[in-house]
Structure 1
Amino acid sequence: MRKFVRFLGIAAVSLSVFASTSALAAGRTDFKVCWTIYAGWMPWGQAKTQGIVSKWAKKYGINVDVVQLNDYVESINQYTAGKFDGCAMTNMDALTIPASGGVDSTALIVSDYSNGNDGVLIKGKGKQVADLKGQQINLVQFSVSHYLLARALESAHMSERDLKVVNTSDADIAGAFATPAVHNAVTWNPMLADLKAQPNVSEVFDSSKIPGEIMDMMVVNTKTLHDNPALGKALTGAWFEMVALMHANNADSATALTAMAKASGTDLAGFKGQLSTTALFYTPKAALDFVTSPDMPKIMTRVAKFSFDHGLLGQDAKSADEVGMAFDKGVVIGNKSNVKLRFDPTYVEMAAAGKL
């Protein structure tokens, strides 16, 4: 049922995109991007609160509204439908929702990767991935949690045929895990930290074992970016000013981190704990080195295969190569005539060179 709903959503989004083409015209001065609560994306909200976004937008003669939404998937759907010019999302979701829905999208900033923020939990006697055999496991189906489970099973020479996945929304994971009937779950922070701190719970696999594969990004509409480079410059400049402030280890950074902690529903210690399992790129050079790495096409090839195997590239997809993806130095994987996801380092390169 989830798969059917997703396909209907893609069809509806495609119609909406055609209807909103005029909204993506060049020469605009007002833009909107969206984000949802997650450790790696909290800087967007704080950058707005502190006036950093407006400062950079003013520098380039535009206005940028950074909007917090409450539902992650809905935020991506709204971006895909043309209601936002950019949206914070993971690499897999960028491929399977906007790109697969026909919306040409650019990963403007690959801001971090999950380095323990996502984990596989067993409640009770199980202490290793192999103990999941024959069990049920609760997770958000077709999300990065599902991808993490697949990689965990692969590490134990198992597959999804060895267990049963139970689709559970991120809002319901904690409640389900608290019931006697649920013994296994895959989730992300902050839920992960709360659940694995409970008695008799073991984390048997986490994203630190697949470094770089679950990325967090600010994705923008490629045509909008092409026609309005000021948007790319303003967002990139604001982002790196904000994360530099976070990393400054002074009174101002402590104030900013405390505000982000409160906004995400935890305290400073809890938020720092989440950041410790987030490989956040605090400098443009660090982000540039990651996005231009030759490993990027390899990682996305693996993600595309998982997505195709689970029917996430569309009903008509014939292979994992259905959607083309472009990388640094002109490298393209997948369908070269259907490139819809671009890891373009242009603006981060400008930031690294001090040219913003």
Structure 2
Amino acid sequence: MRKRLLATLALSLTAFASLPSLAAPRDDFKVCWTIYAGWMPWGEAKAQGIIDKWAKKYDVTIDVVQLNDYVESINQYTAGQFDGCAMTNMDALTIPAAGGVDTTALIVSDFSNGNDGIVMKGKGKTVADLKGKTVNLVQFSVSHYLLARALETAGLSERDLSTVNTSDADMVAAFNTQDVQNVATWNPLLAEVKSMPDTTEVFNSSKIPGEIMDMMVVNTETLKENPNLGKALTGAWYEMTALMISETPEGQAALVAMAKASGTDLEGFKAQLANTKLFYTPKESLDFVLSPDLPKTMEKIAQFSFDHGLLGEGAPDANAIGMAFAKDVTVGDTNNIKLRFDPTYAQMAADGTL
């Protein structure tokens, strides 16, 4: 009887300990980013110890990892190798969300205001001159979206030209060859190709302000179960951006370090920042995320994505993936919400409660 009782007790304790709701919260996380003007603060926040400072405050550890290939970074996040990843709004929709990974835009950090552009060599001087030409770009990325929006302004469509998929890691080298005459890309690559002889930027993202957003996204389930991850990342981000605009020797040194890390000098980095509507304060980000324009923009992005077959196999229309916004606003399929713009943590930063 006693053996049976002990066995029963042991079995009960095993079952009790295995209950998901009683599992100890995680305390070790990894997020990734790639070189881009609006994401350089992540690398500098790590170098400055700001990430570790905020992680320690919330009893977690966060490894902020730089990767060299943008699309690969998103693929690794989608596969679960990272808990968060710096990416654009469209890529968040078409890769992790379309792949079934419920994803939250933790920090909407900026929108491109000239940091993405289309550059032609030689005689090409306008978007209309792209007709019949070939454009190298990261296929189905925001560069592709930018190209489609540019063609609209000239009464053209993608049927009027050809595109070649080219990794961002290879873009500058490709444009330096005779075979590649036209590219759509983002900074700092854009600055490099624009600096080459006999080139013209025929369109950039300042013509479509607010449509190409840059974000730090986090797996929704991970964030829900571990809110300290969201608090630490958000606190670290806004401490870093505050330092950038502090007009102190420390702030200047941080800008110089970010410039060097992105392969340019301070003047070049400041030029890239000038083409980035970076939200230096949580209030700026909140104003953008709470705007009624955001859901409308994302519907436009969803339509482009559906037209290019990026919303998953069998998606019936542009509403296949649901998206949730502030104030209980949703668009798309409410039974399939996979992308969320959650202002909770930015609001905490704005309120000074982090």
Give the TM-score of the pair, scaled to structure 1. Answer: 0.91
Write out per-residue CA displacement over residues 177-233 of structure 1, whole angstroms, 9 at most, x where no aligned residue.
223333221111112112112222111110011011111100001111111111111
> What amino acid is the match of 1:203?
E
- What SS does the corresponding residue of 2:334 show, helix, strand or coil? coil
2:286 aligned residue: 288
Give ranges in structure 1 of 5+ residues lacking alignment. 1-21
Are 1:183 and 2:181 counterparts?
yes
**Residues 232-311 of structure 1 mapped to structure 2, 5 A cutoff:** 232-311=230-309
CA distance in 1, matches of 2:50, 2:317: 43
Deviations 1:264-311 (A, max 9, x none): 122111111111111110001001001111110111111111111111
User: 1:201 — aligned with what?
Assistant: 199
Structure-2 residue corresponding to 1:166: 164
| Match in the other structure for 1:8 | none
Of 295, 310, 313 in structure 2, the residue corresponding to residue 312 of structure 1 is 310
| Cα distance change on mapping 1:169 and 1:301 into 2, 3 Å | same
Structural RMSD (CA): 1.3
**Which of 94, 97, 101 in structure 2 is aligned with 1:96?**
94
Q: Is the 8 A contact 2:325 2:342 kept in 1?
A: yes
DSSP-derived class of the 1:107 partner: strand
2-structure distance, mates of 1:345, 1:58: 23
Out of 106, 130, 134, the residue aligned to residue 108 of structure 1 is: 106
Deviations 1:307-345 (A, max 9, x none): 111111111111111110000111110110000000000
Q: Determine the structure 2 residue equivalent to 1:49.
A: 47
Structure 1 letter corresponding to 2:329: V
Asked if structure 2 preserves the Cα contact closer than 8 Å seen for 1:26 and 1:227, the reply is: no
Aligned to 2:122: 124
Cα shift readout 1:23-57 (whole Å, capped 9, x = no counterpart): xx761111111111111111111111111111111
Corresponding residue for residue 16 of structure 1: none
Percent identity for Structure 1 against Structure 2: 72
- Where in structure 2 are there 5+ consecutive unaligned residues? 1-19
Q: Deviations over 1:97-136 (max 9, x none)?
A: 1101101010000001111111111211222111111112
Aligned residues: 333
Secondary structure of residue in 2 paired with 1:53: helix
Structure 1 distance, partners of 2:165, 2:290, is 35
Structure 2 Cα separation of the partners of residues 287 and 301 of structure 1: 20
Q: Say whether the 8 Å CA contact 1:26–1:228 is kept in structure 2.
A: no
Q: CA separation in 2, counterparts of 1:134 and 1:53?
A: 48
Whole-angstrom CA distance in 2 between matches of 1:178 and 1:221: 38
Look up the match of 2:11. Answer: none
Q: 1:353 aligns with which of 333, 346, 351?
A: 351
Return the letter of the residue paired with 2:64.
V
In the alignment, which residue of structure 1 is the partner of 2:136?
Answer: 138
1:335 aligns with 2:318: no
Give the Å deviation of 1:62.
1.4
Letter in 2 for 1:34: C
Aligned to 2:190: 192
Question: Quick one: distance in 2 between partners of 1:84 and 1:172?
Answer: 24
For 2:76 and 2:139, the matched residues in 1 are separated by 20
TM-score by length of 2: 0.91
- Indicate the residue corresponding to 1:153 in structure 2: 151
Over 3 Å off, 4+ runs: none
| Aligned 8 A contact 2:69 2:168 in 1 | no
CA radius of gyration, larger in: 2
Separation (CA, whole Å) in 1 of partners of 2:136 and 2:54: 42
Deviations 1:212-256 (A, max 9, x none): 111110000111111111111111010000000011111001111
> Would you say the 8 A contact 2:116–2:204 is kept in 1?
yes
Report if the CA contact (8 A) 1:113-1:278 is conserved: yes
Question: 1:110 aligns to what SS in structure 2?
Answer: strand
Q: Do the aligned partners of 2:111 and 2:212 also contact (CA within 8 Å) in 1?
A: yes
